[in-house]
Amino acid sequence: MTEPLPSIAQALTQGYQQLTMSDSAKLDARVLLSFALGQSLTYLLTWPQRRLNAEQFDCYAQLLARRVQGEPVAYLVGEREFWSLPFKVSASTLIPRPDTEVLVEHALTHLSDNASLLDLGTGTGAIAIAIAHERPSVNVSAVDIREDALQLAKHNAELNQVNVNFRLSSWFNELAGEKFDVIVSNPPYIDAEDPHLQQGDVRFEPSSALIAEQHGLADIIEIIKNAPQYLHAQGWLLIEHGYQQGDALARLLHEAGFSQIATHCDYGGQPRVTQGQYRSHDHD
C-alpha cells in the first residue's frame, strides 16, 4: 500500500529538515510550497491538514532539491519583493536586496517635484521603479547594457504601474547631451578574488553584474569620472558599494569635484551607499 502524500503542515516540516544549508529554512519552505500549490502564504496557515496531490508534491520536491544545491529562492519562484513591491527576476539579473533600499531612501531626499533621475545598470529595474512609485512626478530614466534585463525591467514597470524610460546603454555611452538632477547606481563592485563569490546566492547570479576589475572599483571609477558632465549644477550622485569601499569612493568623489560627500550604512550597519553633490562652476 502506498503511503499517503503529506499534508501542508507535514510538507513544510519535511522542507525545513532538508534545507539545513539555508539560514531562512522555514521561510524558504513556505515560499516554495506556496509556489508549488499556486496559493498564498496565508493559505498554508489556514489549511495545514490539506494533502498535496502528486503533481504538487513532485513540484515541491524538485524545488527543494534545487534549493538544497544553493539555487536562490527568488530564481526558483521567479519573483522577489523590494520596497514592498513585487519584482519578477531571472538568472540574467541580480536579485534585488533589502540593503539596496538604502540607496532608494537617500535618493528620494534629493528629488523635488519634476526632478530628473538616472539609474545606471538597472537590472530588474528595482531602484528606478521604487523611486518612480514613490515620486510619480519625477522623470525617471534607466539604462542597462543587456537587452534581456531591459525587457524584464519594462515588465516590472508595467507590473507596478509606473513610468520609467528604459534604454540600452553601457553606462553613459548612449546619453550624450543629457543631464539629470540625481544619478544612482548599484554597479558591479566585487573583487574577482573575493571568497564570498563562492558562497550563497551569488554563485548563481550573473558575474557581469557582480565583479569589477581593479579590486571591484573599475565601474565605480568610470561612473564617477563621467557623471559630472551628465549632472545639472548641484546635482547628486549616489552609488552602492562594498562595505570596505566607502573611503575609496569618498576620495574618488572628492577628486572628481564633488562636495557634501557622505557614506550611509545598510540595515546591518555596514557602509553601503556613498553620495556627493557636484560643484559645477558653469551654468546649465
CB 120 within 8 A of CB 171: yes
Is residue 124 annotated as involved in ligand binding? Answer: yes
Is residue 274 annotated as involved in ligand binding? Answer: no
- Tell me how far apart the alpha carbons of residues 9 and 144 are, in angstroms, rounded to a whole number: 43
Which residues, listed in sequence order, are joined to residue 271 by a DSSP beta bridge? 265
Query: Residue type at 244?
Result: Q
- Phi first, then psi, for residue 73 (nearest 5°) are -55, -40
Residue by residue, DSSP assigns 148-197 as: HHHHHHHHHHHHTT---EEEE-STTTT-TT--EEEEEE----B-TT-GGG
Is residue 276 annotated as involved in ligand binding? Answer: no
Is residue 189 annotated as involved in ligand binding? Answer: yes
Crossing angle between the packed helical segments 101-108 and 126-134, to the nearest 10 degrees? 40
Is residue 136 annotated as involved in ligand binding? Answer: no
Is residue 121 annotated as involved in ligand binding? Answer: yes
Is residue 43 annotated as involved in ligand binding? Answer: no
Which residues, listed in sequence order, are joined to residue 120 by a DSSP beta bridge? 143, 185
Is residue 47 annotated as involved in ligand binding? Answer: no
Q: Would you report the helix, strand and coil content of the chain in percent, each value rounded to 5? A: 45, 20, 35
CB 99 within 8 A of CB 268: yes
Is residue 109 annotated as involved in ligand binding? Answer: no
Is residue 70 annotated as involved in ligand binding? Answer: no
Is residue 2 annotated as involved in ligand binding? Answer: no
Annotated binding site for S-adenosyl-L-methionine: 121-125, 144, 171, 186
Annotated binding-site positions: 121-125, 144, 171, 186-189
Binding-site sequence positions for substrate: 186-189
